[in-house]
């Protein structure tokens, strides 16, 4: 198998979009500052930051080291120039729970709150806690991914607003538990533009 550095060098981005990547990798996620690739036949991922965000790799590694909790977060194995190597978390995001109709229970919401309390106890600020950054493992454990923004001075409102919508709407008996992707994206867009209040 190729060295990690060689695999990372073969990944090509243009305008924060993936152009190409090695056949040894499978893209499993893409966000505002990085893309995540699973290494085939290995239970690890490489998070590769876009060229304009490469400096965030060492910042995120520092956050993972401060958190040092393998239950609530993926285990960081290595940090390099513009990339992280972490354990692969098998599961489904809360976003995909809404797309597939997998029920999000009050216990899962309580577990997210427990994780955020732990983050604060480590002197960090939970931020950017949204549906795609909260994972539910096969064992029904809640794991947070993408912790780079935990060094920001202020908490964002994403999680408190998600919780409010959860208790106000989602838990209602006849409220749908499965939504088309287009509708979820529309709600997210309206929320971010502050055209939708909860």
pLDDT tens sequence across 48-76: 999 999 999 999 999 999 998 778 999 99
Name the active-site residue from 113, 128, 146, 161. 128
Give the CATH fold of the 4-87 domain. Phosphorylase Kinase; domain 1 (3.30.200)
Structure tokens at 143: 């794991």
Q: How far apart are the C-alpha atoms of 180 and 184, rounded to whole Å? A: 7
Q: How far apart are the C-alpha atoms of 172 and 151, rounded to whole Å? A: 36
Helices of type H across the chain = 4-9, 56-67, 94-100, 106-121, 158-165, 181-192
Question: Is pTM, for the whole model, over 0.95?
Answer: no
CATH 3.30.200.20 positions along the chain are 4-87
Q: What is the CA radius of gyration of the chain?
A: 17
**Tell me, what's the pLDDT at 112?**
98
**34-42 CB contacts, 8 Å cutoff, 24+ apart:** 35/11, 37/7, 37/11, 38/88, 39/7, 42/88
Catalytic (active site) residue 128: yes
Q: Are 195 and 167 in contact (CB under 8 A)?
A: no
In angstroms, the Cα distances linking 168 to 27, 107, 163, 171, 175 are 35, 16, 8, 7, 10
Query: Residues with Cβ < 8 Å from 153, sequence gap 6 or more?
Result: 125
**Tell me, what's the pLDDT at 198?**
81
Residue 111 has pLDDT above 80, yes or no: yes
**Tell me, what's the pLDDT at 41?**
86
**Tell me, what's the pLDDT at 43?**
92
For 6-11, what is the mean pLDDT? Answer: 94
| Of the options 1.10.510, 1.10.287, 1.10.150, 1.10.10, the CATH number for the domain spanning 91-192 | 1.10.510
Mean pLDDT rounded to a whole number for the chain: 94
């Amino acid at each position: 198998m190729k060295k990690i550095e060689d695999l990372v060098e073969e990944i090509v981005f243009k305008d924060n979009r993936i152009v190409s990547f090695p056949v040894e990798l499978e893209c499993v996620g893409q966000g505002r500052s990085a893309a995540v690739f699973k290494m085939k036949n290995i239970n690890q991922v490489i998070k590769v930051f876009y060229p304009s965000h490469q400096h965030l790799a060492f910042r995120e590694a520092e956050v993972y080291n401060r958190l040092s909790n393998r239950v609530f977060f993926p285990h960081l194995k290595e940090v390099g120039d513009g990339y992280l190597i972490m354990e692969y978390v098998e599961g489904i995001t809360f976003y995909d729970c809404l797309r597939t109709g997998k029920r999000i229970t009050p216990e899962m919401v309580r577990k997210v709150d427990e994780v955020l309390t732990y983050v604060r106890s480590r002197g960090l600020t939970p931020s950017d806690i949204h549906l795609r950054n909260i994972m539910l493992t096969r064992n029904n454990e809640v794991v947070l991914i993408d912790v780079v923004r935990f060094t920001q001075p202020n908490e964002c409102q994403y999680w408190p607003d998600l919780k409010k919508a959860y208790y106000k709407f989602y838990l209602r008996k006849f409220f749908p538990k499965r939504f088309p992707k287009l509708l979820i994206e529309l709600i997210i867009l309206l929320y971010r533009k502050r055209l939708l209040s909860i």
